């Protein structure tokens, strides 16, 4: 089985190399000159390797020589990719010399010699060429199931546990009580805690609630700050209207609040949190706490509070629960019975129809091997859902008979890992690198879908739709990949988007992530540094050697900075999730980077002359050397200026500058012709003066690929004629600076193209006629921030009735409507989420009728100071949260 796994991963690596070669031949053919034939020959022979590997999948050969052969194939594919990327850097340099072609030619000849040896070995093993299939989008969609299992389907027999937990949490006691849920990983501790935590009557019982994850790499400061951010109301946004001028002021933005709190030491944070909670009845959940030492670090931050305050633990270690509160009896979720296990397996394996009778005996035998562990059953069900025939089920059972008996030994997690491995082995080759990439994110990290799929695309993991599939974008294909991983129960959905169907954020179960990290390290796919102890190991030659082969590096701890200083000649992704003080961009280790993520990092940039201040830094001009960069994430990083060399990043697809202090975009941005997602900082009103965003010359004809454009001023788009070129725009956040600008924007092809999915418009003036919006048939999210009614009070309902029926999420703020908007809004057939906030309605009475809002789930009313009467008829009330 190990050889099978390795062969499938290698197939994906080789396939990516072939795709890279194809791109090179298309984009760089004129420069390849004498080596063009060599590269083309490599391309053809790599296709033969893919054919051989498909034959390997059928045979599933098992011996050490074969395993070594597969490793050789993977390494050759990696080396080909490196040679091509380095060659592109050479020919892009003004110092490129013809003699360097001979060096490239020599490297290709060396690779060819290795390939010849691999071909001979493959022939010895009797592997034959079966050809590389070309799969259309239609076939891909047919192969990837479209059904969504309901997350609640993972829940079996929680009623007793929920009642017990709820009773303990709502029990009125004069002391601070610690309630604990104890059990092994995958037993459903967090699921049980979330079910009860989200109950309305539980939320209403407490004055403040907070939920934080306690990882094995526990950092007291981060946990205390996160709890403060959740329980302290002073960090809420405040809106002020004065003299009919639009003024938005964020008194304590989350980023600024975190920065302020980070200046405090742990003792001060404990005192601050203790002071915040002392007059409240509070509930704080510490999810997945591993050691009593973690509680000892922060326990003094939790006062007695009001009668009935609680702290809830989920832990694998019963001793932690007993030491923290000897008076409390831990709740221990039981393993599922055989019948419960079978019920859960049926839910996951047969989403639409019940289990056919001929499958039942096999299914019951397999589920018995899972030992009643919900996680194992869910994964097995997701795996079996891909198997339609009885023969395929029998093949799965034969593998389980040799692996899953480990569940009944003390090595329970090893048995679970074998279930995870079965699911991994069965993935289509396109999905293997996508799955392994998820391991780069920190433990229990809520991963935003959009960031994830943009990174996948930047890495080249996602196939590009052909010309005949013009309606599909590469983002659509990436979403299909993610949905397939979710459908196979390998990735968990955290939050759905505004449609109620799509995914907003996702995560890996910690056991799944452990397996993912193990496989990624084995295959030199990525290296994850989670704690400062990893920093100590970098001195050893073995770990330096490991770093030199790893193609992705993800750092999750502020003290693990020495890893960045090591030589990483093959590095494709660098993800920094914590403070890194020096980023040596002059280091040649970074020249092959495709993904650079610096979100949440406080940087000082190392350069030839030393390092800059870490308080505010310029992005150094050396960033322009990273010409393979496709994803550059600087969100929340402490940067304020970009160099002109940013225009050298001609392959850049995603550029995220949100929540930075960058106030000027260089004119060279016009050279980023492949850019698809441009996310600019949001510069709000300061001192009641509207400050327009200053950008360089956009040269609009070069920006037709853009799909996402956030925080752009209307003046910029109008001045440079960009409005008529942005015909592929799907997501727009725009600052409208005058009434005339609004008219021009509304009449632009952006609205006529039929591509727009999400629109956020902000203006200090007023929204006039809105007829063009009715043509946006796929617009699902709309946020209007500014006056609607002023000057057209009698036509308020006429304005609203132009909203398209496709809307699923609508937010109105500062609208100043005089008439009850519900009369029109309740007729929107697809609306699931409605928010009216901060002076959006200045009337005194509002009525929501029983027959309105057919699918509404959430209604938010905030800051409507004039509202005196709000009537919701009973039938509607039962629908909403």
- Residues with Cβ < 8 Å from 709, sequence gap 6 or more? 678, 726, 729, 731, 732, 733, 734
Task: Give residue-wise pLDDT tens across range 262-279.
Answer: 778 899 999 999 999 999
| Residue-level pLDDT at 98 | 52
3-state secondary structure of 306: coil
Distances (CA, A) of 178 to 184, 537, 712, 804: 19, 37, 49, 50
Nearest to 511, CA basis, from 423, 597, 578: 423
Residue 44 has pLDDT above 80, yes or no: no
| Residue-level pLDDT at 89 | 67
Rounded CA separation 459/479 (Å): 15
CA angle 151, 152, 158 (to 5 degrees): 135
Selection from 239-253, 421-435, 550-564, 863-877 with the highest mean pLDDT: 421-435
From the number of C-beta atoms within 10 Å of its C-beta (0-12, 13-18, 19+), residue 149 rates as: buried
Average pLDDT over residues 440-453: 92
Task: Give residue-wise pLDDT tens across range 388-446.
Answer: 888 888 888 877 665 544 444 434 445 566 777 778 877 887 898 999 999 999 888 89
Q: Are 685 and 691 in contact (CB under 8 A)?
A: yes
| Residue-level pLDDT at 239 | 31
Average pLDDT over residues 156-179: 89
| Residue-level pLDDT at 816 | 85
Nearest to 82, CA basis, from 597, 589, 456: 589
Rounded CA separation 570/79 (Å): 9
Average pLDDT over residues 19-26: 51
Rounded CA separation 582/711 (Å): 29
Choose between 234 and 509: higher pLDDT.
509
Which residues share a beta bridge with 813? 785, 837
Which residues share a beta bridge with 607? 610
3-state secondary structure of 531: coil
| Residue-level pLDDT at 167 | 93
| Residue-level pLDDT at 605 | 56
Nearest to 863, CA basis, from 792, 785, 808, 801: 785
- Residues with Cβ < 8 Å from 609, sequence gap 6 or more? none
| Residue-level pLDDT at 506 | 94
Task: Give residue-wise pLDDT tens across range 820-831.
Answer: 899 999 999 999
The phi and psi torsions of 179 (rounded to 5 degrees) equal -100, 135
- Residues with Cβ < 8 Å from 194, sequence gap 6 or more? none
Rounded CA separation 105/102 (Å): 5
Residue 794 has pLDDT above 60, yes or no: no
CA 58 centroid distance within chain:
34
Burial 795-820 (b: 16+ CB within 10 A, else e): ebeebbeebbebbbbbbbbbbbbbbb
Q: Are 761 and 734 in contact (CB under 8 A)?
A: yes
What does the longest C-alpha to C-alpha distance in the chain come to? Answer: 85
Binned at pLDDT 50, 70 and 90, residue 630 comes out as very high
Average pLDDT over residues 463-487: 82
What value does the CA radius of gyration of the chain take, rounded to a whole number of Å?
29
With a pLDDT cut of 70, the percent of the chain lying above it is: 69
Alpha-helical runs (H) found in 150-213: 159-170, 189-197, 200-205
Rounded CA separation 759/326 (Å): 54
Rounded CA separation 252/271 (Å): 20
Task: Give residue-wise pLDDT tens across range 111-131.
Answer: 777 777 776 766 666 655 444
Choose between 13 and 449: higher pLDDT.
449
The phi and psi torsions of 208 (rounded to 5 degrees) equal -140, 145
Average pLDDT over residues 306-330: 91
- Residues with Cβ < 8 Å from 678, sequence gap 6 or more? 655, 706, 708, 709, 710, 712
Nearest to 708, CA basis, from 675, 674, 670: 675
Q: Are 456 and 431 in contact (CB under 8 A)?
A: no
Selection from 14-28, 264-278, 672-686 with the highest mean pLDDT: 264-278
| Residue-level pLDDT at 404 | 46
Binned at pLDDT 50, 70 and 90, residue 38 comes out as low
Rounded CA separation 50/48 (Å): 5
Rounded CA separation 103/90 (Å): 11
Rounded CA separation 873/830 (Å): 19
- Residues with Cβ < 8 Å from 198, sequence gap 6 or more? none
- Mean pLDDT score of the chain, rounded to an integer? 76
Nearest to 881, CA basis, from 191, 200, 159: 200
SS percent in the chain: helix, strand, coil, step 5 = 45, 15, 40
Q: Over 52-80, what HEC string results?
A: HHHHHHHHCCCCHHHHHHHHHHHHHHHHH
Q: Which long-range contacts (C-beta less than 8 Å, at least 24 apart) are formed by 867-870? A: 867/841, 867/843, 868/844, 869/844, 869/845, 870/845, 870/846
Rounded CA separation 711/731 (Å): 11
Q: Over 561-603, what HEC string results?
A: CHHHHCCCCCCCEEEECCCCCECCCCCHHHCCCCEEECCCCCC
Choose between 732 and 235: higher pLDDT.
732
DSSP designation for 144: S
Residue 198 burial (CB count, 10 A)? 12
Residue 296 has pLDDT above 70, yes or no: yes
Binned at pLDDT 50, 70 and 90, residue 148 comes out as very low
| Residue-level pLDDT at 784 | 92
Rounded CA separation 14/321 (Å): 49
The phi and psi torsions of 235 (rounded to 5 degrees) equal -90, 10
Binned at pLDDT 50, 70 and 90, residue 578 comes out as low
Residue 214 has pLDDT above 70, yes or no: yes
Selection from 123-137, 580-594, 681-695, 847-861 with the highest mean pLDDT: 847-861
Binned at pLDDT 50, 70 and 90, residue 653 comes out as very high
Of 37-41, 175-179, 543-547, 804-808, give the lowest mean pLDDT range: 543-547
Selection from 209-218, 474-483, 544-553 with the highest mean pLDDT: 474-483
Average pLDDT over residues 40-59: 55
Average pLDDT over residues 195-200: 90
Binned at pLDDT 50, 70 and 90, residue 241 comes out as very low
Q: Which long-range contacts (C-beta less than 8 Å, at least 24 apart) are formed by 565-570? A: 566/538, 569/82, 570/78, 570/82
Residue 101 has pLDDT above 50, yes or no: yes
Choose between 448 and 156: higher pLDDT.
448
| Residue-level pLDDT at 712 | 86
| Residue-level pLDDT at 169 | 93
With a pLDDT cut of 90, the percent of the chain lying above it is: 23
DSSP designation for 337: P
3-state secondary structure of 527: strand
From the number of C-beta atoms within 10 Å of its C-beta (0-12, 13-18, 19+), residue 234 rates as: exposed
Residue 299 burial (CB count, 10 A)? 14
| Residue-level pLDDT at 555 | 85
Would residue 309 be called left, alpha or beta, if left means φ above 0 and alpha means ψ between -120 and 50 degrees? beta
Q: Quick one: CA torsion of 786, 790, 792, 793, rounded to 10 degrees?
A: 110
Q: How many helices (H) and strands (E) does the chain have?
A: 31, 29
Positions of E strands within 268-414: 282-287, 310-315
- Residues with Cβ < 8 Å from 624, sequence gap 6 or more? 643, 644, 645, 646, 647, 648, 649
Q: Over 665-701, what HEC string results?
A: CCHHHHHCCCCCEEECCCCCCECCECCCCECCCCCHH
| Residue-level pLDDT at 40 | 58
Of 22-36, 38-52, 151-165, 278-292, give the lowest mean pLDDT range: 22-36
Task: Give residue-wise pLDDT tens across range 771-784.
Answer: 788 888 889 999 99
């Amino acid at each position: 089985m190990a050889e099978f796994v390795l062969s499938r991963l290698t197939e994906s690596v080789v396939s990516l190399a072939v795709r890279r070669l194809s791109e090179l031949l298309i984009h760089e053919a004129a420069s390849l000159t004498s080596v063009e034939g060599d590269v083309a020959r490599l391309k053809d022979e790599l296709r033969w390797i893919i054919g051989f590997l498909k034959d390997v999948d059928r045979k599933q050969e098992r011996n050490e020589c074969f395993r070594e052969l597969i490793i050789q194939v993977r390494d050759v594919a990696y080396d080909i990719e490196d040679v091509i990327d380095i060659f592109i850097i050479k020919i892009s340099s003004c110092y490129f010399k013809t003699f360097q072609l001979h060096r490239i030619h020599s490297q290709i000849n060396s690779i060819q010699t290795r390939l010849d040896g691999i071909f001979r070995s493959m022939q010895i093993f009797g592997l034959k060429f079966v050809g590389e299939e070309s799969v259309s989008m239609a076939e891909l969609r047919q192969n990837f199931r479209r059904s969504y299992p309901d997350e609640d389907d993972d829940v079996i027999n929680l009623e007793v546990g929920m009642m017990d937990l709820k009773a303990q949490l709502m029990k009125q006691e004069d002391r601070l009580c610690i309630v604990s849920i104890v059990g092994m990983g995958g037993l459903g501790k967090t699921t049980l805690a979330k079910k009860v935590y989200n109950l309305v009557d539980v939320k209403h019982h407490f004055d403040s609630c907070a939920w934080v994850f306690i990882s094995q790499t526990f950092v007291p400061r981060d946990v205390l700050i996160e709890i403060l951010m959740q329980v302290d109301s002073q960090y809420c946004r405040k809106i002020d209207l004065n003299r009919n001028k639009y003024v938005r002021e964020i008194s304590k933005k989350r980023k600024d609040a975190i920065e302020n709190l980070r200046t405090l030491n742990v003792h001060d944070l404990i005192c601050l949190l203790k002071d915040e909670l002392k007059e409240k009845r509070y509930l704080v959940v510490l999810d997945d706490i591993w050691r009593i030492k973690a509680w000892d670090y922060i326990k003094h931050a939790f006062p007695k509070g009001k009668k009935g305050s609680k702290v809830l633990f989920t832990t694998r270690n019963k001793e932690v629960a007993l030491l923290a509160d000897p008076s409390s009896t831990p709740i221990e979720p039981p393993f599922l019975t055989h019948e419960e296990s079978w019920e859960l397996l049926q839910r996951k394996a047969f989403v639409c129809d019940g289990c056919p009778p001929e499958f039942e005996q096999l299914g019951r035998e397999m589920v018995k091997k899972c030992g009643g562990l919900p996680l194992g059953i869910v994964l097995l069900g997701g795996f079996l859902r891909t198997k339609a025939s009885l023969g395929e089920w029998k093949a799965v059972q034969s593998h389980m008979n040799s692996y899953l008996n480990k569940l009944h030994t003390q090595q329970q997690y090893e048995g679970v890992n074998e279930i995870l491995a079965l699911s991994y082995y069965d993935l289509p080759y396109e999905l293997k690198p996508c799955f392994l990439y998820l391991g780069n994110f920190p433990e229990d990290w809520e991963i935003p879908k959009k960031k994830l799929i943009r990174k996948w695309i930047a890495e080249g993991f996602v196939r590009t739709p052909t010309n005949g599939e013009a309606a599909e974008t590469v983002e659509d294909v990436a979403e299909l990949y993610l949905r397939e991983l979710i459908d196979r129960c390998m990735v968990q959905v955290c939050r759905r988007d505004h449609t109620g169907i799509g995914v907003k954020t996702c995560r890996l179960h910690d056991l799944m992530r452990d397996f993912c990290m193990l496989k990624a390290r084995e295959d030199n796919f990525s290296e994850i540094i989670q704690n400062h102890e990893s920093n100590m190991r970098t001195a050893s030659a073995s770990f330096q050697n490991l770093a030199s082969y790893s193609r992705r590096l993800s750092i999750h701890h502020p003290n693990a900075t020495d890893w960045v200083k090591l030589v990483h000649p093959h590095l494709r992704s660098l993800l920094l999730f914590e403070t890194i003080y020096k980023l040596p961009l002059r280091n040649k280790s970074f020249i092959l980077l495709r993904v650079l993520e610096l979100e949440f990092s406080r940087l000082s940039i190392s350069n030839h002359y030393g390092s800059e201040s870490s308080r505010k830094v310029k992005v150094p001009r050396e960033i322009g050397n990273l010409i393979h960069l496709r994803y550059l994430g600087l969100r929340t990083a402490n940067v304020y200026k970009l160099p002109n060399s940013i225009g050298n990043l001609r392959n850049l697809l995603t550029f995220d500058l949100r929540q930075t202090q960058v106030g000027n975009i260089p004119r060279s941005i016009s050279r980023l012709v492949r850019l698809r997602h441009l996310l600019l900082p949001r510069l709000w009103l300061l001192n009641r003066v509207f400050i327009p965003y200053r950008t360089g010359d956009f040269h609009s004809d070069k920006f037709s690929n853009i799909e996402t454009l956030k925080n752009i001023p209307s003046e910029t788009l109008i001045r440079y004629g960009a409005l008529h070129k942005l015909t592929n725009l799907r997501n727009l956040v725009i600052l409208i600076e005058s009434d005339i600008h609004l008219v021009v924007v509304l009449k632009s092809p952006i609205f006529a193209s039929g591509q727009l999915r999400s629109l956020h418009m902000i203006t200090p003036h007023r929204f006039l006629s809105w007829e063009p919006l009715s043509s946006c048939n796929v617009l699902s999210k709309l946020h209007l921030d500014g006056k609607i009614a002023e000057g057209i009070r009698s036509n308020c309902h006429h304005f609203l009735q132009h909203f398209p029926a496709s809307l699923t999420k609508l937010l109105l703020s500062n609208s100043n409507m005089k008439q009850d908007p519900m009369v029109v809004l309740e007729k929107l057939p697809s609306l699931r989420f409605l928010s009216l906030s901060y002076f959006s309605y200045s009337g005194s009475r509002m009525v929501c009728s029983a027959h309105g809002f057919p699918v509404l789930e959430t209604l938010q009313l905030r800051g409507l100071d004039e509202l005196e009467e709000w009537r919701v008829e009973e039938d509607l009330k039962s629908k909403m949260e």
